[in-house]
Chain A
Amino acid sequence: MMKLKLTRWLTVVLIWATGVALDAPRGTVPKSAADQYPAHAVQDGINIGAVLLSTNDVRHAFSTRINECCLVVEVALYPQKDGLVEVSLNDFALRVVGQDIAAKPSSAEVVAGRLYREAQPQQNQRDVSISPTAGIGYESGGIDPVTGQRRPGGVVTSTGVGVGVGAPPPKPGSNEADRRTMELELREKGVPEGNTAAPVAGYVYFTIPPRKNKKYQFEYSLNGKKVVLSL
């Protein structure tokens, strides 16, 4: 009897723990070593690798249209053996080379909120469609029913314009359920924060609009020292 109750409790605890684990950020799977990433460095025994995702990469990796607002960097940290590293979003930054523009990472909530806001239809936004029409025909002639006189035939032409005014269709990500889903995706794929003794990897989001032919520097602060990676 006692054993049965214990089993039931263990089942409940297992279900709860599974739920908690599923809610937790999970990041991405780190590659076998930091040097597998295009940009990598070592600082105080900790290996760090990073890659800036192209627009195409982002489109394949995310359902969320994060390309519209942000740059995405995949970062991986490899603690030294028996060592511990504290991962915090505050330790990362992205700088545009040649410009005084630098940005700290944005949280999943902020990015999802921004995309949700941008997807909202504006009140004064109207979708106007114009349809020009033209017609050509031949009238054979005959008796005019109004005047009773004979009317000659000939070519008849007509032109016109149809104008339709309405609201555009809603964009993806424009309702509350979408906002929650985007936030969940960004959080689950984001780099997991906290202390870790095992290699971790995940995405970091910077609210810098993607531009072609721009060079970026990814900065990571570790124990007061700054590691700079060219992306």
Chain B
Amino acid sequence: MWREAVRNTLGTVAFAILLLGSGATGGSCQSTSSPESPSSTSNSASSGVQATDQQDQSSKLNSKDKKDKPDKGKTHVHLGAVTVGASYTRFSNGFLVPFWGYGFYPYYFGYEPFFYDPFYSSYFYEPYTSGFAYGPDKGEVRLEAKPSSASVYLNDAYAGTAGKLKHMWLAPGAYDLTVAAPDGSAFHQRIYVLSGKSLKIHAKIVPQNE
């Protein structure tokens, strides 16, 4: 409980610093602003509450859409060995998604959204790396998809490539699985994961030109 309170307080302070200073902080604090940060993340406005590293992937898919690229900013402050940071993503319609994070400099630092995040590990630079490991209360999803470079999304959040996600252990629940090929064609399926049960998914991606 007290950890939550400390986290929330740190997040609020960090975000206030970001808003007030717009990336400039005084004293001995260091401050940076990087719109191309790999960890500054956001999701599409359709889901609204989920935020992961998929921004980078979706920007790859829609690289031609430079106009709709959301405005992003981030900063962090070193307080001794402790680092507190905040970032935001502002969409073209004015919708603002704030993020914050903390850690021990120079290790273990990332950003997480203020809002609901379905996968706790998603605020690390490498999303979901620890989220798919075996657990006694999890269910297995065996994914077969070609090409292996296809991007895998769970509930619209980027999870990794199909080649690296042949076996995923997920908590029981319903997930919207999307496998998107580099050419833009995609496979969608809603999957229901039960603990101790293995689910085999053969994602057949139909190329767009067919």
Contacts and interface: CB of A to CB of B under 8 A. Distances in A.
Interface string A161-200: 0000000011111110110111011001000000000000
Interface in B81-117: 93-95
Given A11-B93, A175-B137, A181 B173 contact: yes
Contacts of A18: 46-48
Contacts, number: 70
Nearest to B94: A4
B195 A7 contact: no
A172 B195 contact: yes
Report whether over half of chain B's contact residues are helix, strand or loop; otherwise say mixed. loop
Contacts of A64: 192, 194
A8 interface: yes
A32 B49 CA distance: 37
Contacts of B174: 181, 184-185, 188
Interface residues on B, range: 20 to 34
Contacts of B173: 177, 180-181
22 contacts: A7-B94, A8-B94, A11-B93, A11-B95, A14-B46, A15-B47, A15-B49, A18-B46, A63-B191, A63-B197, A63-B199, A64-B192, A169-B196, A172-B139, A172-B195, A173-B194, A174-B195, A175-B137, A177-B171, A177-B195, A180-B173, A181-B173
The 4 closest A-B pairs by CB, nearest first: A177-B172, A15-B48, A172-B197, A63-B192
